[in-house]
Amino acid sequence: MHTPATDASILAIATANAMLGAMAPDTLKRLLLRATSVELAPDEVLIRQGDLSDCAYLIVEGEVTVVVNTSNGEVLVANLPTGVLVGEIGVFADLPRNATVRARTAVRALRFGRDDLRAAGDSEPALLRSVISRLGGPDQPLQLGDRALHHRRRRARARQFQCCHPRRAAPARP
């Protein structure tokens, strides 16, 4: 019987992930043994913005879309491929979900429960350092999305201000 810990392709995906790959092989295998498999059809929601962060997911097949719901509607943050870990920051920081993750294609993911992921973090400081480094790193998809969202909001406020406060024509120069 194949389990995530003994399936060579899943083990390869997990070790290729920057965060999970930083863990000792035995710790990673223990974490994979406790994981549960989740399958989603296209457009199904894996993580919903605002929900409690009770787990993280490793995408082992397919692609997901990350969106943020704003007062101006849904904003696309990123399209993420196989091999990414999503939801881990909320688990370790004890924060609600800050985005919605939806299946872009048919997706198979491994679900790591909060207690299992935190136990792995307790025994593997490299995992915690990796999560912390993502909080401010330039390759963090949500950070890039937040920056894009910030600029969109700024432009929208500027347009709104211009509608309410039209510019006065500059006086003609002699």
Containing structural domain, residue 152 = 8-164
pLDDT (0 to 100) of residue 141: 45
pLDDT (0 to 100) of residue 139: 45
> What's the pLDDT tens digit per position in 118-140?
999 888 887 877 777 776 554 44
94 has a pLDDT exceeding 60: yes
Q: How confident is the model at residue 160 (pLDDT cuts 50, 70, 90)?
A: low
For residue 85, the number of C-alpha atoms closer than 13 Å in the C-beta half-sphere is 25
Domain-located, residue 2: no
Residues 45-74, mean pLDDT to the nearest whole number? 95
Domain-located, residue 174: no
Domain total of the chain: 1
pLDDT (0 to 100) of residue 39: 97
Q: What percent of the chain has pLDDT over 90?
A: 55
Q: What percent of the chain has pLDDT over 70?
A: 74
Q: What is the pTM of this model?
A: 0.75
How far is the first Cα of the chain from the last one, in angstroms, to the nearest whole number? 88
Domain-located, residue 55: yes
Domain-located, residue 139: yes
